[in-house]
Chain A
């Protein structure tokens, strides 16, 4: 699954730590999601979309291999 968290975070000038604090996860989790090492749960994906003020379908897109 591809995501645009890094791009949107940069747009909002938000650090990984700031985003992690907003949604109540660790910075490692944000790092792992951005790098594609971890696919978040539906709840976490919605929280990320809300925190980054974008639509969830825009933030996450299915990869061909998914």
Chain B
């Protein structure tokens, strides 16, 4: 695609920064949720802001980096994965709202889960083709 102007190795750079920062964000989120449930409220720190910013920059770099080999079939798998993630998100939100009508989630957290789910799905679908 024309907007992918960065060399392919930028995908690895983006993943190397995205994965650890993402894991830290999840742990941080769980900790916060745990303490909030126990009546202790947290204010968003500079550290959390940096985590979110790093995640966003990593995602943008990943999206702008060229693919190793770009072809129609890989593009088809990618589009199907995006569709599945979108559909899965709708189902997930629906189920959570049925369970608890006051349920809410931060948009950035949802976005993060979507990206992780997309990356895993895409990888699995590409690797499950027989040799």
Judge whether A24 and B72 touch: CB under 8 Å: no
CA distance A22 to B71 in the complex (A): 13
Closest residue of chain A to B127, judged by CB?
Answer: A28
Closest residue of chain A to B125, judged by CB?
Answer: A28
Judge whether A24 and B73 touch: CB under 8 Å: no
Interface check B34, CB cutoff 8 A: no
Judge whether B72 and A44 touch: CB under 8 Å: yes
Interface check B39, CB cutoff 8 A: no
Interface check A25, CB cutoff 8 A: yes
Interface check B44, CB cutoff 8 A: no
Distance in Å: Cβ of B112 to nearest Cβ of chain A: 28
Would you list which residues of chain A between 9 and 54 have a CB under 8 Å from chain B? 24-26, 28-29, 31-33, 38, 40-41, 44
Chain A contributes a number of interface residues (CB within 8 A of B) equal to 12
Count of inter-chain pairs, beta carbons less than 8 A: 31
Judge whether A31 and B130 touch: CB under 8 Å: yes
Q: Mark contacts of B106-131 with chain A using CB atoms, 8 A cut-off: 1 yes-contact digit, 0 otherwise.
A: 00000000000000000000100110
Interface check B69, CB cutoff 8 A: yes
Contacts of B91 in A (CB 8 A): none
Judge whether A40 and B74 touch: CB under 8 Å: no
CA distance A28 to B130 in the complex (A): 8
Contacts of A38 in B (CB 8 A): 72-73, 76
Distance in Å: Cβ of A48 to nearest Cβ of chain B: 11
Contacts of A40 in B (CB 8 A): 72-73
8 smallest CB-CB distances across A and B, nearest first, come from A29-B73, A25-B71, A28-B129, A29-B71, A41-B72, A38-B73, A32-B73, A26-B69
8 A-B pairs with CB atoms under 8 Å apart are: A28-B73, A31-B129, A33-B73, A38-B73, A38-B76, A40-B72, A41-B72, A44-B72
- B: residues with CB less than 8 A from A are 69, 71-74, 76, 126, 129-130
